[in-house]
A and B are shown apart, each in its own frame.
Chain A
Amino acid sequence: MENDSIVFHGSLQQLLEKVETGEMIPRLQASHAPMCKFFTAYYVISGIRHVVPLVHGPTGCPLYMSDFVRTRECCEIRGVPLEPTACTTLDESHVIYGGEGKLLEAVKEAYAKYHPDLIVILSCCCSGIIGDDVESIAREAEKLVGCRVLALRSEGFGGDFRSGYEDAFKLIMELMEPPKTKRKATINILGARWGPNPTEFNWDLDEIERLLGDIGIQINAVIAGGCTVEQIRHAREVELNASWCYDWGQKLGDLMQERFGIPYSRTGQPYGPTATKEWLLGVAGPLGKEKDALEVIEREMREVEPDLAYMRRALEGKTAVIEISEFPGPIRALSLARMAEEFGAHPVVINVHPYTIKERMPSIRYILETGVNPEIILTKGLFHLGSFRSSKETEDELEAIVREYDNPIFFGNSGRFPPCPVVNLSLMNPAFQPQYGFRGIRNIAALIRQALENENLPRSRLFRGMLYGTRAR
């Protein structure tokens, strides 16, 4: 492909090697800032019911999370009651003299005010740098209150977004008690955060729960998707752990396997029929439920056969251009690449930043192990100074790339305007959720149908101008 804007064109495996050898530096430009360790740790902890996340820091860190995660995501969308987000409100004097005394009192006060089942102290940059010993305070405080008190070193500078998730999941393991019994055909779902699913729409996790229920598999806890401390205590009584998202569940799954000997079903995201079958059999097999699973799969496959037939017809021989930077998550995009290939399309994945490769290394490796190794293109615009939103350059590059393929179809979201059918897979349109499982197949088939049948309808000059400026074509 002749295109001056292309800085890498090869396979996912080759890109991974370039990142590993340092040939491509996995550093985001100054205008791109992902979440910090504190944020993602908070995401996980806030997914446990009746917990007080006690932020040992100034008010800026907790307040963003309490507005965004607590009030909007949890209260407004997920039907969660208003839970506290407590803070020690460190000021200059604490920075000079230390805040441990205040923290101990804050734990006692938080218990008296909120009567929680669990208090998790989250340290911020301030408390981390001044050296407040949050773990010792947690141990001390636990003797003074009637619930468990845990501490997590979650200073924003202490790691990237991934480390916050992983350390929080690791911390949750401390709540898991030795099993008194083994619960047959029962699993934990790992890797969730922010509390339960939204109340008004079916989501991916709902589809997983539906299918597991039909097979006769019980779920002890969705960790941490609105689970209780009691459920976490009993987490070791299950026969198997599984993940709703390989990327987020993998660390906790591996750790529980290593420490507690609970097997972890290593499967990718259930996008499309093959991955869905693999996911369900990966869970049902170890539980001795393979026959039940096959019956459910057969039933569901019969029901979605018209959609499968349509997708085969629609995608056969096409080039599926899949954009990662605008799609909700690179792992989903790669799962989708696998699905597109399954239906006869040739997947080309655009703009997976080397930073993403570094941060999601275990998941990328796993995806490669499963035989998914799509063609990857990285463009210059991906590395330029400028916000994710201000992506006029990558939009132009995407349009140029699409023109060079025969029979292209774009998988991403409708914020892009390539000269080909656009399959709008944004998670921001709940009308077409879930995307996982068999209901996901129906939804994705519907989205492909919309894209192909309406290809010639005019696109919005309004949205295009909003996104890329009025000088855009």
Chain B
Amino acid sequence: MEQGRGEEPAGAAAGSPEQCTDPYLRCAFNGAAQTALGVSGSALLAHSPQGCEYLVNNAFASQECDYMETITLCTKLCVDEIVHGGEDLLARTIREAKNLPISILFVLSACGPEIVGDNIVAVCETVQPEVKFRLLPIECAGFRGSQYDGIDIALDTMLRKLVKGGGEKVPGSVCLIAPHANANPTWTADLAWVHQALSRMGIRVAATLTHRTPLSAIENAASAEASIVLSHDAGQKAADFLSASYGIEQVCRGIPQPIGMTNTQRWLSALGERFDALKAAEEMVTEGERMVMGTCRRKWPMARFLYRTPAAIVADATVGIPLVRFVTEEMEMTPELVALYSSQRQVRELLEQELRSLGLSPKVVYGTDVYKTRKALAEVRPRVVFGSTIERHASEGLGVPYVVEVVRMMRQFRMINREYFGYTGILNLFECVQNEWTMAWRSKEKRYQAKW
């Protein structure tokens, strides 16, 4: 493996395992909630103390649920239930919800009830005959891992319990996996672009796991011919399961997500080849690149003079890995630090493949936390950081002129979803860079007062 300035393995600093971290990632419970709330016509019941409901609320927002349609419930466990068990309360709460007009109720267990041994599976089995909707228990206590582990846990439960095998394959169809494991705050636009691209190639989406996915689509997921994992952080296990159980072949594996011109071209071409739609793919590439260049020519963005400016990328692998090529090729900057939230083997392999291909040797931090990010920024001293609002504050005092907020941003609100995938995605990213460039020029104080 090529090493750049140095690589810090996950969970390690100065050679010793870390005991104290300042994490970027939420817990498994949150990831499972994100996944469950992507099923339309559903409700979610958190078997947890009331605080965990806030992780559900976060997941609710991430999946862009509508509170007119989706309801979330919580058993609000207190000391009594922790001491004596909360199964009765869980059963009572399910019964309270029995008139909800839903097709499925996901019951998610948090740390407390799992440690004290509440059996949510048994409770759901017992109460199932009393309610009209399906009950699906998901054991996803926060201590089971990160939000990405939670997504994998929930997908695994859904696929094992809900998918009906044995049906016929639908020719030219795909199952999209884990679109929500993506740090673009408006990742649903990435998913929309994927749908649009697939449609243009005549590829049908059998099921999306998950976003506004009807229960029936999940039940029919085995009818898909192929799967596409839309994340580098989660979903691979689901693709492996679908492959092993239903012979669903995974496409676009080992290719960075379609961010930037080269990545998009590779991704579309791989799909075109698999589904015998290479001509349509090539047309999309040609049209897309022409549109991007034409738009830039007409809009004339000034933030294009950052030639070989040292840059840092701090993000999840889904956005972070493809950004390496975008930053290097399209923006002509030089990534000198890549810090990724996750650290799975496939993430490492993919990033290393990209770095080799580009001839880059930045400092790489896998499984970064806020402390490691700050330390790495202090060491590398980049001039541009692609990251989140946290990095804006973490880079204070380090002389970083530009922090381009592309993930988890809090400073800017997006009413209109913006994709990073595909060709409009390139313009959206360019817009982020241009706006940050403009902001950096803005005067912070007035030199004198006007007379009027």
Task: Show the binding face of A for B, using Cβ within 8 Å.
Answer: 28-31, 33-39, 54, 57-64, 66-67, 71-72, 75-76, 81-82, 84-92, 94-95, 102-103, 105-107, 109-110, 113-114, 124-126, 129-130, 155-158, 160, 385-387, 389-390, 469
State in angstroms the CA–CA spacing of A105 and B93 once bound together: 41
Measured between beta carbons, the chain B residues less than 8 angstroms from A71 are 389-390, 393, 410
- List 24 A-B residue pairs with CB atoms under 8 Å apart, sorted by A's residue number: A28-B76, A30-B73, A30-B93, A33-B53, A37-B51, A58-B142, A59-B25, A60-B28, A61-B27, A63-B27, A75-B389, A82-B393, A82-B396, A85-B370, A87-B23, A88-B20, A109-B19, A114-B371, A126-B143, A129-B111, A155-B112, A157-B82, A385-B97, A386-B71
Within the complex, the shortest CB–CB distance from B261 to chain A, in Å, comes to 32
State in angstroms the CA–CA spacing of A37 and B29 once bound together: 19
- Contact with B144, one of A54, A92, A106 (Cβ below 8 angstroms): A92
State in angstroms the CA–CA spacing of A105 and B17 once bound together: 10
Is B67 interfacial (CB 8 A cutoff)? yes
Is B22 interfacial (CB 8 A cutoff)? yes
- Tell whether, in the assembled complex, residue B23 and residue A63 are in contact, meaning their CB atoms are under 8 Å apart: yes
Measured between beta carbons, the chain A residues less than 8 angstroms from B371 are 84, 113-114
Is B52 interfacial (CB 8 A cutoff)? yes
Most chain A beta carbons < 10 A, residue from B97, B110, B143, B371: B143
Measured between beta carbons, the chain A residues less than 8 angstroms from B389 are 71-72, 75-76
Measured between beta carbons, the chain A residues less than 8 angstroms from B74 are 30-31, 33
Is B168 interfacial (CB 8 A cutoff)? no
| Besides A33-B53, A58-B141, 19 other A-B contacts (C-beta < 8 A) | A30-B73, A30-B93, A35-B50, A36-B50, A57-B111, A58-B28, A58-B111, A59-B23, A66-B22, A92-B144, A109-B20, A126-B111, A155-B112, A157-B49, A157-B77, A157-B81, A385-B97, A387-B67, A469-B68
- Tell whether, in the assembled complex, residue B19 and residue A102 are in contact, meaning their CB atoms are under 8 Å apart: yes
Kindly supply a per-residue 1/0 record for chain B positions 51-65, scoring 1 wherever the CB is within 8 Å of any chain A CB and 0 otherwise: 111110010000000
Measured between beta carbons, the chain A residues less than 8 angstroms from B50 are 33-36, 156, 160
- Tell whether, in the assembled complex, residue A87 and residue B21 are in contact, meaning their CB atoms are under 8 Å apart: yes
- Tell whether, in the assembled complex, residue B54 and residue A64 are in contact, meaning their CB atoms are under 8 Å apart: yes
Measured between beta carbons, the chain B residues less than 8 angstroms from A125 are 49, 82, 110-112, 115
Kindly supply a per-residue 1/0 record for chain B positions 65-101, scoring 1 wherever the CB is within 8 Å of any chain A CB and 0 otherwise: 0011001111111110110000000000100110010
Is B173 interfacial (CB 8 A cutoff)? no
Is B394 interfacial (CB 8 A cutoff)? yes
Is B318 interfacial (CB 8 A cutoff)? no
Measured between beta carbons, the chain B residues less than 8 angstroms from A156 are 48-52, 112
Give residues 105-128 of B contacting A (CB, 8 Å). 110-112, 115-116
Give residues 333-373 of B contacting A (CB, 8 Å). 370-371
State in angstroms the CA–CA spacing of A424 and B30 once bound together: 35
- Contact with A60, one of B30, B96, B116, B410 (Cβ below 8 angstroms): B30
Within the complex, the shortest CB–CB distance from B111 to chain A, in Å, comes to 5
State in angstroms the CA–CA spacing of A87 and B75 once bound together: 26
- Tell whether, in the assembled complex, residue B20 and residue A95 are in contact, meaning their CB atoms are under 8 Å apart: no
Q: Contacts A59-B146, A84-B371, A89-B23: A124 and B111 contacting too (C-beta < 8 A)?
A: yes
- Tell whether, in the assembled complex, residue A61 and residue B51 are in contact, meaning their CB atoms are under 8 Å apart: yes
- Tell whether, in the assembled complex, residue A81 and residue B112 are in contact, meaning their CB atoms are under 8 Å apart: no
Q: Contacts A35-B50, A95-B115: A58 and B55 contacting too (C-beta < 8 A)?
A: no
| In the complex, residue of chain B having the shortest beta-carbon distance to the beta carbon of A471 | B68
State in angstroms the CA–CA spacing of A95 and B50 once bound together: 21
Measured between beta carbons, the chain B residues less than 8 angstroms from A66 are 22, 370
Is B169 interfacial (CB 8 A cutoff)? no
Within the complex, the shortest CB–CB distance from B394 to chain A, in Å, comes to 5
State in angstroms the CA–CA spacing of A23 and B78 once bound together: 22
The 7 closest A-B pairs by CB, nearest first: A36-B51, A60-B27, A33-B53, A156-B49, A82-B393, A58-B142, A106-B20
- Tell whether, in the assembled complex, residue A76 and residue B112 are in contact, meaning their CB atoms are under 8 Å apart: no
Within the complex, the shortest CB–CB distance from A348 to chain B, in Å, comes to 28
State in angstroms the CA–CA spacing of A39 and B115 once bound together: 21
Measured between beta carbons, the chain B residues less than 8 angstroms from A86 are 20-22
Within the complex, the shortest CB–CB distance from B108 to chain A, in Å, comes to 12
Measured between beta carbons, the chain B residues less than 8 angstroms from A105 are 19-20
| In the complex, residue of chain B having the shortest beta-carbon distance to the beta carbon of A101 | B19
Is B445 interfacial (CB 8 A cutoff)? no
State in angstroms the CA–CA spacing of A58 and B142 once bound together: 6
| In the complex, residue of chain A having the shortest beta-carbon distance to the beta carbon of B68 | A469
Is B411 interfacial (CB 8 A cutoff)? yes
| In the complex, residue of chain A having the shortest beta-carbon distance to the beta carbon of B145 | A91
Q: Contacts A71-B389, A87-B23: A385 and B53 contacting too (C-beta < 8 A)?
A: no
Kindly supply a per-residue 1/0 record for chain B positions 28-56, scoring 1 wherever the CB is within 8 Å of any chain A CB and 0 otherwise: 11100000000000000100111111110
- Tell whether, in the assembled complex, residue B410 and residue A72 are in contact, meaning their CB atoms are under 8 Å apart: yes
Measured between beta carbons, the chain B residues less than 8 angstroms from A72 are 389, 410
Is B18 interfacial (CB 8 A cutoff)? yes
State in angstroms the CA–CA spacing of A95 and B116 once bound together: 11
Measured between beta carbons, the chain B residues less than 8 angstroms from A389 are 67
Measured between beta carbons, the chain B residues less than 8 angstroms from A87 are 20-23
State in angstroms the CA–CA spacing of A109 and B410 once bound together: 29
- Contact with B143, one of A35, A63, A92, A386 (Cβ below 8 angstroms): A92
Measured between beta carbons, the chain B residues less than 8 angstroms from A92 are 143-144
Is B26 interfacial (CB 8 A cutoff)? yes
- Tell whether, in the assembled complex, residue B22 and residue A157 are in contact, meaning their CB atoms are under 8 Å apart: no
- Tell whether, in the assembled complex, residue B143 and residue A58 are in contact, meaning their CB atoms are under 8 Å apart: yes
State in angstroms the CA–CA spacing of A107 and B141 once bound together: 25
State in angstroms the CA–CA spacing of A91 and B143 once bound together: 4
- Tell whether, in the assembled complex, residue B370 and residue A82 are in contact, meaning their CB atoms are under 8 Å apart: yes
Within the complex, the shortest CB–CB distance from A242 to chain B, in Å, comes to 31
State in angstroms the CA–CA spacing of A130 and B112 once bound together: 10
- Tell whether, in the assembled complex, residue B76 and residue A129 are in contact, meaning their CB atoms are under 8 Å apart: no
| In the complex, residue of chain B having the shortest beta-carbon distance to the beta carbon of A164 | B51
Measured between beta carbons, the chain A residues less than 8 angstroms from B396 are 81-82
- Tell whether, in the assembled complex, residue B73 and residue A63 are in contact, meaning their CB atoms are under 8 Å apart: no
| In the complex, residue of chain B having the shortest beta-carbon distance to the beta carbon of A390 | B67
Measured between beta carbons, the chain A residues less than 8 angstroms from B147 are 60
